[in-house]
Amino acid sequence: MYPVVVITGADPVATGLIDSLARPGGTVTGIGEVAAELSAKRLEVLKDTFPSLRKVAMFWNADDLGMTLRYRSAEASARTLGVEVQPLGVREPDDFAAAFAAMVRDRPDAILVTDALTALNRKRVFEFAAQQKLPAIYEYAFLVRDGGLMSYGPDMGEVYDRASDLAARILRGASPADLPFEQPTHFRLVIDKRTMETLGFTIPPAMTTRADEVID
């Protein structure tokens, strides 16, 4: 089998992709996104931005173990923050209509968005959040630039650079089994001030200071 360098948001050990972070043990290495931990961190960011928050709706792909681990991490964090997670597992694009209807019936205070499936359907989420005046946090900065409110996640420039370095080391003869599966070290909080104002909210000064980028 050919060596593979991956960029993954799922826990590569828990999902069986590799044996361990220190020694992947097969033909796969790469860089992860500590996604489960970051789901909990995004919940904290939401709570810090909107202190009165009590219920957060969470989108994730219920058919994906990696995404389910993210949901479980956020749910555990929610308990310590005094926040309820409203689980909205989606498996295909048609499921979004039912998820939106569930939020209309039982309104949350905010939305936590994760998973590639929801990213692919992001315009629908943006439109729903705007209609319902609900703040939402996403994984990546490009989703904020596309119309989302805020994001917290790895600096993808760093992720791509380190993945490229791993690929170069393999091309020079290194075995992926011996190259530690890396984790990101830099994370970015991005907030769109325009979207915040459209929703009728104001960015707390502490969050403006904390943000790596505020889009005016």
Domain ranges of the chain: 4-32+155-178, 36-153+188-215
CB hemisphere CA count around 172 (13 angstroms): 7
Closest CA to 8 of 21, 75, 87, 186: 21
CATH topology of domain 36-153+188-215: Rossmann fold (3.40.50)
Are 74 and 113 a contacting pair, CB within 8 Å? no
pTM of the model: 0.88
Tell me the CA end-to-end span of the chain in Å, nearest whole number.
48
Q: What is the C-alpha separation between 25 and 113, in angstroms, rounded?
A: 33
pLDDT tens figures, 1-55: 789 998 876 778 878 888 888 999 889 999 987 666 788 889 999 999 999 999 9
pLDDT at residue 215, rounded to an integer: 94
Summarised one tens digit per residue, pLDDT across range 67-106 is 787 788 888 888 889 999 998 988 888 888 999 999 999 9
